[in-house]
Every structure is written in C-alpha cells, then in structure tokens.
Amino acid sequence: MTTPINTALCSFGMSGVVFHSPFLSVNPDFNFYAVWERTKNLAQEKFQEVKTYRSLEKMLADELIELVIVNTPNFTHYEYAKKALEAGKHVIVEKPFTVNVNEAKELIAFAKKQNKILSVYQNRRYDSDYKTIKKVLNQKLLGDLVEVEIHYDRYREELSPEKHKETPGPGAGVLYNLGSHLIDQALQLFGIPEKVFADIRIVRPLSKVDDYFEVLLYYPKLRVRLKSSYLVREALPGYILHGTKGSFIKVKTDVQETMLQAGNIPGGKDWGREPESEKGLLHTEIDGKIVKEYITSEQGNYGDYYKGIYDAIRNNQPVRVSAEEGENVIKIIQTAFESNKLQKVIEI
C-alpha cells in the first residue's frame, strides 16, 4: 500500500476552503497535513488533524511534507514556489503561474534541478462545459473550425473583499485572474497562436484594475476570441464554435464551484454533472443529413487533477498540467498587455 502524500496549503482562504481541502480530504492518496495561517486556526477547526504553522519557513522546514500548494496572491507565486522547491518539496501553483515569463522559466529550471514536480492548478480543464467542448471537437462534428468565442463573464459592480485582487500591481486584474482559465483552454484546444490582439479596459466605476478584456488569437485558418467582463448581467453563451459543417453553442456552467461553496463533499455518481437544462446545442451536418440537437454534457471532476498529481509523484507519470503550459499562458497574457498598450497585433 502506497503512503499518502503529505500536503500543505499556503493559505486557507477561498481557494483553500473551496478548491483544495475538500479534494485532499476525500482522496486516500493524499493527507491534508499542514497549513500556513498567520493568526487564525480556520483549517484546524474544520480538519482537527491538520497542523497550523505561523510562518512559511517553519512549515517548509517540516520534513514530512512532500507537496506544497501555493494558493496565495498572484504576486507571491514566484517567491513562495521557489522557497518550497528550495526546501525539497513538490509544488502546485495556483493560476496564474507567475507574473511574467522570466519568473516562470526560472521556476521550471529550478524544479528540474531539484528533481521535483511543478504543476499549475488549472481546475477549469475538469469542468463539464470544457470537457464537452473537447469531446465535440475530438469527434470533428463541426468540420474545420473557422471561429471560436469563449466567455467568462460576471456581474459584480462592487469591488472584491479580497483587497489584493483590486489593488493595482503585478498580477492584478481580470486578465490574470479569469483570463488564465480562458487562455489555458484555448491553448489546450488549438495550440499556440501566431498573433495576438487585445483590448483591456476598466469598466466598473470604482475599479483600479482591469475588469474587461477581449483577446483575439490568430491561427492560420481560425480566429479565437476570449472575452470577460465584470459588468455582464445577462451573459452570452460561454462557448460559441462555428465550423465548415456546423455550430455548437454551450452556456458556461460552474456546478462544481457552486456545490463546493454550499459545503458539499466531492464524490458520488452525480458530482460535477450538469442539469439537463445546460445541454449544448449542436447544429451541423452528419453523413449528408442536417442535425440539430442538444448534446448531453460530460461529467466534470476537479478531483481528477489530483489523480494526475498523485500519478506524477508516485508513479513517475507526466504532469497533466505542466509548468511549461503555465508559462505559455503567461506569455499570451504579457503579449496581450503589449498589444493593448501599442494598439496593434503582436506576433508570438
């Protein structure tokens, strides 16, 4: 029997409570072992066996910890991930991986030197909506794609109570926050684009950081438009795909986050399963016949990310969400900001 991986969280805020601890606690291959909380004991109140450390240095000095999850504000990712690697730990870094490409490259090289696993937490690859899009494309139901539009919109006129998200500085703003998800999905589906154009704005009256973007990715025969805004009360479909044979339109769903925020424990046959009302519409031509029907969505499960981490650490399997893929996302984000500043199309 394999020993569970002793895992430590660098914070127990929203991401620790909602996205990490529930899956660590139900997966027998992991032991939610420690947490860094400067003053509170929130993790210990919920998980009595968890050790609480008041400093990162003391936590990293614990030799029983194998895996550290850096789920702190974006501008700290590089510093804390490097310290964890220096301490001989495997590391998961929340998206966005780093603030810039140079930081990403340095961490990747250092992880290889230390012979440690380094991964970026891209949980949206394990959402039902994205998995459904991937299936439709794999089955080539739309012919050759010509246009794709992916949205991640919210209506939130007020500022976030998490001040670091609303304070101007490295890694702040919606392009780093939600854009990391959209860019990662686009790169997984279509690869690295040839060119990028971006329009990045502030639209909320009180906001000091970007809260709107439109990023256009140029491929030889395809255009992919990524959009997000915090002032969208009536959202458009999350995914709009048009090809030479037909179209697929799908609303963006987030059933897992909703279930986790409600305190549900991951697991069971219906975990991550969308309601029937969220089916995507397929309108295409198959074997010479016009088909217009709603497609049952794939089942999502963020727990599959951790299965991949376990296989990478214990079974020497390739990392499913690699640090190199995280670096590519940051490369697109940096190029998008350059495009917005110069108001021109930038070649990758």
State whether 50 and 130 are in the same domain: no
Model confidence, pTM? 0.96
State whether 130 and 18 are in the same domain: no
| 306 is a domain residue | no
| 29 is a domain residue | yes
Judge if the upstream peptide bond of residue 170 is cis by omega within 30 degrees of 0: no
Structural domain that includes position 99:
5-121
State whether 76 and 183 are in the same domain: no
Region at 327 (left for phi over 0; alpha for psi -120 to 50; beta for the rest): alpha
Q: What is the CATH number of the domain that holds 38?
A: 3.40.50.720
Q: Is 118 exposed, middle or buried (0-12, 13-18, 19+ CB in 10 A)?
A: buried
State whether 170 and 130 are in the same domain: yes
State whether 130 and 245 are in the same domain: yes
State whether 106 and 186 are in the same domain: no
State whether 40 and 154 are in the same domain: no
Model pLDDT, residue 1: 66
Tell me the pLDDT tens digit for each residue of 318-340.
999 999 999 999 999 999 999 99
Q: Are 69 and 20 in contact (CB under 8 A)?
A: yes
Structural domains counted in the chain: 2
State whether 168 and 270 are in the same domain: yes
**β partners of residue 94:** 121
In angstroms, rounded to a whole number, what is the distance separating the alpha carbons of residues 4 and 10? 19
| 320 is a domain residue | no
| 318 is a domain residue | no
Which among 121, 137, 159 is the end of a domain? 121
Q: Which residues of 240-279 are buried (b: 16+ CB within 10 A; e: fewer)?
A: bbbbebbbbbbbbbbbbeebbeeeeebeeeebbbbeeebb
Helix (H) or strand (E) holding 291: strand 289-295
Which among 73, 106, 121 is the end of a domain? 121
As a whole number, mean pLDDT of residues 95-124 equals: 98
| 199 is a domain residue | yes
Tell me the pLDDT tens digit for each residue of 144-158.
999 999 999 999 999
Which among 95, 121, 147 is the end of a domain? 121
In angstroms, rounded to a whole number, what is the distance separating the alpha carbons of residues 107 and 288? 52
Q: Are 68 and 84 in contact (CB under 8 A)?
A: yes
Tell me the pLDDT tens digit for each residue of 62-85.
999 999 999 999 999 999 999 999
- Helix locations, the chain, DSSP H: 14-15, 21-26, 42-46, 56-60, 77-86, 101-114, 128-138, 163-166, 174-177, 179-190, 255-261, 303-314, 323-342
Model pLDDT, residue 164: 85
Region at 269 (left for phi over 0; alpha for psi -120 to 50; beta for the rest): alpha
State whether 129 and 264 are in the same domain: yes
State whether 107 and 164 are in the same domain: no
Tell me the pLDDT tens digit for each residue of 33-47.
999 999 999 999 999
| Residue 2 confidence (pLDDT) above 80 | no
State whether 207 and 297 are in the same domain: yes
